[in-house]
Structure 1
């Protein structure tokens, strides 16, 4: 075997090893991915004309609900498949208003009753990393049965979120009759990063958050985003 041939074989071996290493890295990355369904709503229109949205700024939009239903994945090495977590956020001002910060906020976290203490810690880490500064101070935690049901088709935008007797949201697609002045468009973007997001209409949304004196019960508001999320363990662990 010539030196040239041996060098070519060694180069091929190195390339093959690098390809295997890359494949293993990709597999590990995919296995650490957290995926699931998401719903958020707030006490303000997200789909409205600029004039109407501006009329609510500083008055509405300071209360938000974010719900994650995890279909697969883990955080900080803890399996979260089949679990949910809901954040109820009371902000200082309208969330998404570019002219005034909503911070600081006070958050109530609602953990799935199926979660173990270890899983609740991981769920909190996941929610905090997903929502960023919107979940700054957690002033109350609750444990409750949580259901985020898209009724088999997320794209139909007919979803129901129930978190014990603390949160209930039911949605449908936005219709022409929901228009407030026939110049409606997306005004506020989702509060978290999503793989896919769709605006929807809340038929009803109720929130009980006694720690900050909130007892909201609203009907007929285009205030919802439904979507799918994908995150990686390294982005949500506490390490």
Structure 2
């Protein structure tokens, strides 16, 4: 079985699982960055050092609470800009990283504080690295049947992605080369179909259409547990 097929089976099995314990927080995740993640060493080595310094991470929480606050139905997005390629060790490769948080404009102060803590816990970043938080209509979605996903935030983020397919291979040596930037219960590498991000506070704007730069996945976190970025 190919590595791609195995990743897709893992994601499908997790996304379609029925029910979780009441003390668990669960949801779906979409990620896109400015380097290829479903690729081979030849492409990855060519991009290392100059690409992959930007990424967008989106979570939608379907049920559960964090920091004592019910977050069911909430979505949150983090746009990051790093000094180095976000590679095998994710944010640990970054040396320096700055982030912009995007939350729904209808959230109250308690929800905003809990979402911020959730993102910091998941990424391993600290509050000082988040230089701005903005509020808009935030949508993060993942279709578990087709394994397609999207992130939509006002004029800042427009991402649509699908799982990678055998036809996306170029050198016939592709795999999920870099892992997702956060720990997930299940994931599959994907293709960013439309990918436009504008983050003025970070001084960055990028477009990555038709690129093998995405991850689609799901997270399930036990009450009180911590999951941090790949280190």
Normalised to the residue count of structure 2, the TM-score between the two structures is 0.83
Residue aligned with 1:54, SS: helix
Aligned counterpart in structure 1 of residue 78 of structure 2, from 78, 87, 91: 87
Aligned to 1:68: 59
Distance change in 2, residues 1:55/1:155 (3 Å): farther
Aligned to 1:13: none
1:168 shift after superposition: 1.0
CA–CA distance in structure 1, aligned partners of residues 215 and 200 of structure 2: 25
Q: Is the 8 A contact 1:86 1:111 kept in 2?
A: yes
Aligned to 2:31: 40
Q: Which is worse superposed, 193-202 or 93-102?
A: 93-102
CA–CA distance in structure 2, aligned partners of residues 233 and 76 of structure 1: 9
Deviation sequence 1:47-80 (CA, Å, 0-9, x none): 1110110110011111011111000011111111
Residue aligned with 1:156, SS: coil
Q: Is the 8 A contact 2:60 2:141 kept in 1?
A: no
Q: Rg: which structure is higher?
A: 1
Aligned to 1:160: 150
CA–CA distance in structure 2, aligned partners of residues 175 and 167 of structure 1: 25
CA–CA distance in structure 2, aligned partners of residues 58 and 35 of structure 1: 34
1:135 shift after superposition: 7.2
CA–CA distance in structure 1, aligned partners of residues 191 and 127 of structure 2: 24
CA–CA distance in structure 2, aligned partners of residues 176 and 189 of structure 1: 19
Aligned to 1:3: none
Q: Is the 8 A contact 1:34 1:73 kept in 2?
A: yes
Distance change in 2, residues 1:135/1:90 (3 Å): farther
Aligned to 2:135: 143
CA–CA distance in structure 2, aligned partners of residues 78 and 131 of structure 1: 19
CA–CA distance in structure 2, aligned partners of residues 77 and 177 of structure 1: 45
Unaligned runs of at least 5 residues, structure 2: 1-19, 227-231
1:134 shift after superposition: 8.0
Unaligned runs of at least 5 residues, structure 1: 1-28
Determine if the alignment matches structure 1 residue 59 to structure 2 residue 64: no
Aligned residues: 206
Aligned to 1:16: none
1:104 shift after superposition: 1.6
* Structure 1 consecutive aligned stretches of length 4 or more whose deviation exceeds 3 Å: 97-100, 133-136
CA–CA distance in structure 2, aligned partners of residues 136 and 93 of structure 1: 19
Determine if the alignment matches structure 1 residue 78 to structure 2 residue 72: no
> Relative contact order (alpha carbons < 8 A, sep ≥ 6): 1 or 2 greater?
2
CA–CA distance in structure 2, aligned partners of residues 87 and 98 of structure 1: 18
